[in-house]
Chains A and B, each alone.
Chain A
């Protein structure tokens, strides 16, 4: 058989292949030749064949049949064979193959070989792919080699020790005595590898860390020598003496100094020296400075040093080299939390980086800018950020928009500015904003009462321009629905009032309904807005027509709404104004101590949902109406819709789910309740979504009679809700001792501001005569401050044909109910 081709030839041949298929063919041919050569046990050319196999392996082709050959090569006496064999072992073998254990003996012998190069090879291989068993067996040998005087071997042994420690951490103590002398070496190679070894040991074990702290002075001395020493040709890289070693030592110092005052103090001088003396014209110097800055930031350095570090980073930012700017931005991001003021000084440079061409730099600059925004610089920063939002890549837009919203919320100097900013974001990056920004914006708008006219005017104008950005359209249609009357009446102090007629407004909203650009959610918003306008505008007929058209729409959600609104027109016209009144101010979930309105607001939502359930009409509807009268009315529907986008399930289905659960009278509000608008504070919901409330009957709280007049008696019984002990659950039982039924019975309650109240649906609204039955209703009261519970109740009912209304105060709550 002719001699197998040399590696060089093989490489040349493969390089001539023009396509992947050609290459594969050549390689397969060569593999076949190699395999037959292996079978022939050809000693002379084995090394050449394995070398070729390694090349093919590197290109990505399977080469496992060469593993045993590598072992044979390792066992051979020739150095060239051993070299290729070990290389092959490092590349082809790993601990997952069983074959590698066979190598252990070879390595052991080679570790004690007379030639240092062979020993070096063995150390390399062990350090590269040694498994834990091999490491355990051979650790002793490695440790012995760590102590030899041969620096070539010592440095390899140190690296091998690093690998051993990584694989078998328990053996760390074995290497401890050997490390004593490592740092007193002159040879940089040994120094470097020993620093690596020490770093590894310190990272793995806190005991080692405290042990090695006493080496800090020695390390400082070595570093000093490196800096002070003159030019030494073997260690020089662009004028700096062994920068790699310097960086390693700095990193070890960082680990040693973290959290420890004494070591940090010992390092202060040398760090300052490095920071000031290192030449920054080349990348090498900058690399060392970077490591120094990282070290200064991590240890307990004095403030002067920290300021120095941040100034260095500031200087990096001005550097033309983008790598350095990138690195500076990354580190500034890490330090902005702790040294906020120092970083502020460089704010203008950072903002300039927003305009850089590089994507990673832009991203970091954006994050850093958000971290730097505060009350003073908000206007300027926001201008820059909005400009950035206009011009940045789409993947940034979502993050940037959310960041802008957060910053605007925290530091807005005026409500008008806030609204302007949000509108600007919506018009520029509307399709990228997060889903919850729409309800947040709506809540913000309702809260700024004086800005309503201005806001609705601006939104209307924005709508006229462009209806493609869905969040903007949703917010705009909601506002027009709420404040349409302000728009038409044309009063607006802040801006030039525009003349808008009712028909124009309705045109716009109807346009939204038919447009292809509108998503189903947006259509829902606009239909509801049109409906709301029926109470605010005079052209009711047109609205009735629109609503009835959509009663047969294909979209289930739209159809349901249209049908229900139609029902409102036909059967419940008397309720329409009350239902469609202005929304009260909403509180966000995060705030604590919401007002009573909010509480029952949440409750009336549940009852209004009952009105949508067309079959069970009369009883919950009238209750809803009365509650609304008490509380100033609201139109809850759009608020519920805002939760719809967050849930992927069909919108119609959700409302039905809520309905289905609420039809349980007196039962706990269902788990979808948390998604029901943000006016519900979280702590009540915790109680709600947990176990049924009534399984934990508080022992011994006596029931009490709250009201007893004209034959109507109302009793309260108490329970403690589980798990929140601050919530008292009161069940009222209303009984009627007269001979006539009390129909249309509605119970309402109000509590002082320190409490929160929630009314669940009553069992019915007819209190049967002669104590034949009772109406029960559940009230939940949250009493975080443990104050005495007081309540004012209002009762309305129809008795013997005439309506009766009564107000009463309930003060005689037993102490256990609120303690």
Chain B
């Protein structure tokens, strides 16, 4: 999750990526996504992954998936995730980010 200025609010890696490389990777990905216009579709090709991103007000949620994954279903998943967070914390917005860190552990 990143905000409009590109600052990372939350990141979860399912593969081992070195700490130093993470910041660069995130910045790179985010630059690709933030530059997109409204008419462009939400799937971007990045190296050998696909990025699915979705914007909610000032927050961008980006998920990196592999080639054989169904992009549309991940798109749905992102929305589902945000809906759950919304229901749980009743306000999806900037303040959400604070809470998210604390309770991320439950979301596996």
Q: A325 contacts B41, CB within 8 Å?
A: yes
A7 contacts the other chain (CB 8 A): yes
Residues 12-53 (chain B) with a chain A CB within 8 angstroms: 16, 19, 22-23, 37, 39-45
Q: A361 contacts B80, CB within 8 Å?
A: no
**Chain A 27-66 interface mask (CB, 8 Å, partner B; 1/0):** 0000000000000000000000001001101111010000
Given A59-B8, A87-B105, A156-B108, check contact A360 B45 (CB 8 Å): yes
Q: B73 contacts A62, CB within 8 Å?
A: no
Chain A's interface size range is 35 or more
A290 contacts the other chain (CB 8 A): yes
How close is B23's CB to chain A, nearest CB, in angstroms? 4
Nearest CB in chain A to that of B42: its residue: A323
Q: B105 contacts A58, CB within 8 Å?
A: no
Q: How many angstroms from the CA of A237 to the CA of B71 in the assembled complex?
A: 17
How close is B90's CB to chain A, nearest CB, in angstroms? 17
Other-chain residue from A8, A62, A283, A360 in contact with B98 (beta carbon distance below 8 A): A8
How close is A24's CB to chain B, nearest CB, in angstroms? 12
Given A58-B10, A358-B39, A358-B41, check contact A323 B72 (CB 8 Å): yes
Contacts of A359 in B (CB 8 A): 40
Q: B41 contacts A60, CB within 8 Å?
A: no
Contacts of B77 in A (CB 8 A): 244
A284 contacts the other chain (CB 8 A): yes
How close is A15's CB to chain B, nearest CB, in angstroms? 9
B70 contacts the other chain (CB 8 A): yes
Q: Which 10 A-B pairs have the closest CB atoms?
A: A287-B72, A322-B41, A87-B105, A287-B73, A60-B23, A358-B40, A326-B41, A323-B41, A247-B73, A124-B108
Given A51-B102, A87-B105, A287-B72, check contact A326 B43 (CB 8 Å): yes
**Chain B 70-103 interface mask (CB, 8 Å, partner A; 1/0):** 1111011101100000000000000001100110
B-side interface mostly = helix
Contacts of A290 in B (CB 8 A): 70, 72-73
A324 contacts the other chain (CB 8 A): yes
Other-chain residue from A62, A124, A156, A360 in contact with B43 (beta carbon distance below 8 A): A360
Scoring A60, A326, A360 by chain B CB atoms within 10 A of each residue's CB, the highest score goes to A60
Q: B22 contacts A323, CB within 8 Å?
A: no
A258 contacts the other chain (CB 8 A): no
Pick 18 A–B contacts, CB within 8 A, sort by A.
A60-B19, A60-B22, A60-B23, A121-B105, A128-B108, A243-B73, A244-B76, A290-B70, A291-B70, A322-B39, A323-B42, A323-B43, A327-B72, A357-B37, A357-B40, A358-B41, A360-B41, A360-B44
**Chain A 611-652 interface mask (CB, 8 Å, partner B; 1/0):** 000000000000000000000000000000000000000000
Contacts of A96 in B (CB 8 A): 16
12 more contacts with CB within 8 A, not counting A11-B97, A51-B101, are: A11-B101, A51-B102, A57-B19, A58-B11, A128-B108, A243-B73, A290-B72, A323-B43, A327-B43, A357-B40, A358-B39, A358-B40
Contacts of B104 in A (CB 8 A): 87
Q: B105 contacts A86, CB within 8 Å?
A: yes
How close is B86's CB to chain A, nearest CB, in angstroms? 14
Nearest CB in chain A to that of B43: its residue: A326
Contacts of B108 in A (CB 8 A): 124, 127-128, 156, 159
Chain B's interface size range is 20 to 34
Nearest CB in chain A to that of B83: its residue: A237
Scoring B70, B72, B79 by chain A CB atoms within 10 A of each residue's CB, the highest score goes to B72
Chain B residues engaging chain A, CB cutoff 8 angstroms: 8, 10-11, 16, 19, 22-23, 37, 39-45, 70-73, 75-77, 79-80, 97-98, 101-102, 104-105, 108
A202 contacts the other chain (CB 8 A): no
Nearest CB in chain B to that of A287: its residue: B72
Given A60-B23, A247-B73, A327-B72, check contact A84 B105 (CB 8 Å): yes
Q: A294 contacts B76, CB within 8 Å?
A: no
Q: How many angstroms from the CA of A58 to the CA of B72 in the assembled complex?
A: 28
A286 contacts the other chain (CB 8 A): yes
Scoring B11, B16, B97, B102 by chain A CB atoms within 10 A of each residue's CB, the highest score goes to B102
Contacts of A327 in B (CB 8 A): 43, 71-72
Q: A7 contacts B101, CB within 8 Å?
A: yes
A576 contacts the other chain (CB 8 A): no
Contacts of B40 in A (CB 8 A): 322, 357-360
A581 contacts the other chain (CB 8 A): no
Q: How many angstroms from the CA of A205 to the CA of B79 in the assembled complex?
A: 34
Contacts of A247 in B (CB 8 A): 70, 73
Q: How many angstroms from the CA of A427 to the CA of B19 in the assembled complex?
A: 50
How close is A610's CB to chain B, nearest CB, in angstroms? 52
Contacts of B79 in A (CB 8 A): 283
Given A7-B102, A87-B104, A237-B80, check contact A291 B73 (CB 8 Å): yes
How close is B61's CB to chain A, nearest CB, in angstroms? 15
Contacts of A287 in B (CB 8 A): 70, 72-73, 75-76
Q: A243 contacts B70, CB within 8 Å?
A: no
